[in-house]
Structure 1
Amino acid sequence: MSQPTFKDSFTRKYRKGPYSRISPTQPTLSASGKTVLITAGHTGIGFAIASNFAVAGVAHLIIVGRRQNMLKKASEDLSRAHPATKLHIFAASIVDEAALSAVFHKIRQGIAEPDVLVTSAAYFPSSTNVLETPMQQMWASFETNVKGNMHLVQEFLNVTRPSSVSPTNQTPKRDKIILDVSSAATHVFVRKTGIYSASKLAFTRILATAQDEASFLSQYFNLRIHSFHPGIVLTQIGRNNGHNVDTMPWDDVQLPGQFAVWLASPEAEFLKGRFVWANWDVDELLDGKERILKENLLKIGLVGKADWAIALKRNTSKL
């Protein structure tokens, strides 16, 4: 099939809001006892994901962000709504490697080993043509969306310092799950988002490779990496770029919030290393499991038509 777009969904049903199948109250989606770390979980999509993991019963919810005042408010709001979940906040930028390393040290020493990492922090440059984007904004996109997030992943997996990681005797082995809040702009052309698209694509592609190369980690834990488009949600970034509630038919922020919980559940294991949209119907994805695996679908790559390629080969052979 051709690649999915906003007009050509992978599933027949195109969801724009939460639905019962992915509700975090479903027993099969329970995150009881888990420790979840979310960057930028104090606002927007990140906050919705944090809220839904709390509903799913996580033991520890850790939010890392740059603004202490907003972190504090988010923690207070989440604590009031979900008293059974322990909230922890850390003020740090993901581009500050030393600060991020210190955060993970504190987490491991005083809280718990994180089970799930949600990479929600992102830098979005001003909406301009690629050639008109200031170089400072272009580089800031890659500093945050690629370098910062990659350092975050390495700290989460803790594999760059072999002496600090020891094989586990757990049966079954512990799962370590990365939820990459990516964007449809990685594979769908969206005007005036070229730099953002390229930086998000770069990180998502790196994660796909990491999943493919993850066999050496199997003695420590089972690694699952999922990249997903969260839908078109009106966030502060959108407002900063001139959008409001009337500029387009927005998706409900609770859709990616709940979909992230489903992705972290055992049901979604078959989608590891692949790219999905929160808008796609979960039951249809599950029904298509065999085909997705057999045909190696939902991986970012080059889309072409076999008949065209065959014709080209036939014609050039006569030259």
Structure 2
Amino acid sequence: MSQPSFQKSFTSTYRSGTYASISPTRPEVSAKSRTIVITAGHTGIGFAIACSFAAAGASNIIIVGRRETVLRAAVQKLSVKHPGTNLHYFAVSITAEDQVEQMFASIRRNMAEPDILITSAAYFASGATGAASVASTPLKEMTASFETNVVGNLSIVQAFLGRATQDHIEKTIIDVSTCTVHLYLPQAAGAYSASKLAFTKLLMVLHDEARTAGQKLRVHSFHPGAVFTEAVADAGHRADVFPFDDIELPGHFAVWLASPEAEFLAGRFVWANWDIGELIERKEDILRQNLLRLGLVGKAEWDTKLFV
């Protein structure tokens, strides 16, 4: 098929809000006994994901961000609604490798071995700089985008894995990506989309490496939908110019992605807007044709062995 877009969805049903099949209270997607680490889990989509995993019964949820007052308020809000989940926060910059390593050492020492990592933190330049073309983007903004969206996120991933790959501990990484890694949108900054694409590609390589080595690692990347968040407002957009999606959609979808039902989508890129019933129905086609992988669009005409 042609590349999925806003006009050509991969599923015939295009979701803008949550629905019963991805409810985090379904027993089939339970996060009981799981320890979840969520970067940027104190605001926006990250916070919606934290709420969803708490609703799914997660034992421990650790949210990570730079603003301690906002982190504290988020944990307090979550704890009132979900008293059965142990909630923690760390005021850490993901670009500070020593802080990241110390955080995971503390999690392992005082809580548990983390099972699921949600990479939700991202850098997006605001104002005029955020809307700049590639030709006019200041190089310092380009550098900042890659430092956070690639290097910082990779630092989190490596610390999260620890010795898991050697010790064959089961781990899951859910990457909150963006449709702009495979679509051109004039209003999307090139620095943002290119850096997000780079990290998503790294995760897909990580997934393939783990599978080749027989390691128990699942990696999922997904477009969370078009959700109006604080970051979207800071980028200069208004809530009344677009039919934005409900923020519960990516929150609930992330819980479903981490469940056994979505295992067949490991190493692939999906949209939260796509109906999971149809995705499951197309499981055999997705696996047989190796669909939903980032790569080159085109039909192969020759059967040539490049590697023996």
Into which bin does the TM-score normalised by the smaller protein fall?
Answer: over 0.9
SS at structure 1 position matched to 2:167: coil
Shift of 1:215: 3.7
- Please show how residues 272-311 of structure 1 align to structure 2 within 5 Å: 272-305=266-299
Aligned mates of 1:118, 1:110 — CA distance in 2: 20
For this pair of structures, how many residues does the alignment match?
Answer: 297
Alpha-carbon displacement from aligned partner over 1:106-144 (angstroms, at most 9, x marks no partner): 000001000000000000121111111111111000000
Contact between 1:217 and 1:223, CA under 8 Å: does it hold in 2?
A: no
Aligned mates of 1:254, 1:244 — CA distance in 2: 19
Aligned mates of 2:43, 2:175 — CA distance in 1: 16
TM-score with structure 2 setting the length: 0.93
SS at structure 1 position matched to 2:15: coil
What's the counterpart of residue 305 of structure 2?
none
Q: 1:166 to 1:147 in 2, by over 3 A?
A: closer
Alpha-carbon displacement from aligned partner over 1:295-319 (angstroms, at most 9, x marks no partner): 000001111245xx68xxxxxxxxx
SS at structure 2 position matched to 1:95: coil
Aligned mates of 1:99, 1:26 — CA distance in 2: 36
Q: 1:201 to 1:165 in 2, by over 3 A?
A: closer
The one-letter code of the counterpart of 1:116 is I
What's the counterpart of residue 173 of structure 2?
178
- Please show how residues 229-308 of structure 1 align to structure 2 within 5 Å: 229-305=223-299
Shift of 1:190: 1.1
Could you say what the CA RMSD is over the residues aligned between the two structures, in angstroms?
1.5
What's the counterpart of residue 136 of structure 1?
140
Alpha-carbon displacement from aligned partner over 1:248-268 (angstroms, at most 9, x marks no partner): 110001000000000000000
SS at structure 2 position matched to 1:213: helix
Larger radius of gyration: 1
Aligned mates of 1:20, 1:209 — CA distance in 2: 33
- Identity fraction in percent: 55
Aligned mates of 1:294, 1:270 — CA distance in 2: 11
Aligned mates of 1:9, 1:193 — CA distance in 2: 23
- Structure 2, unpaired ranges of 5+: 303-308
Alpha-carbon displacement from aligned partner over 1:53-111 (angstroms, at most 9, x marks no partner): 00000000000100000000000000000000000100000000001110001000001
Shift of 1:22: 0.2
SS at structure 2 position matched to 1:210: helix
Aligned mates of 2:152, 2:65 — CA distance in 1: 13
Alpha-carbon displacement from aligned partner over 1:143-184 (angstroms, at most 9, x marks no partner): 00000000110000014xxxx97636xxxxx52000000000
Shift of 1:243: 1.5
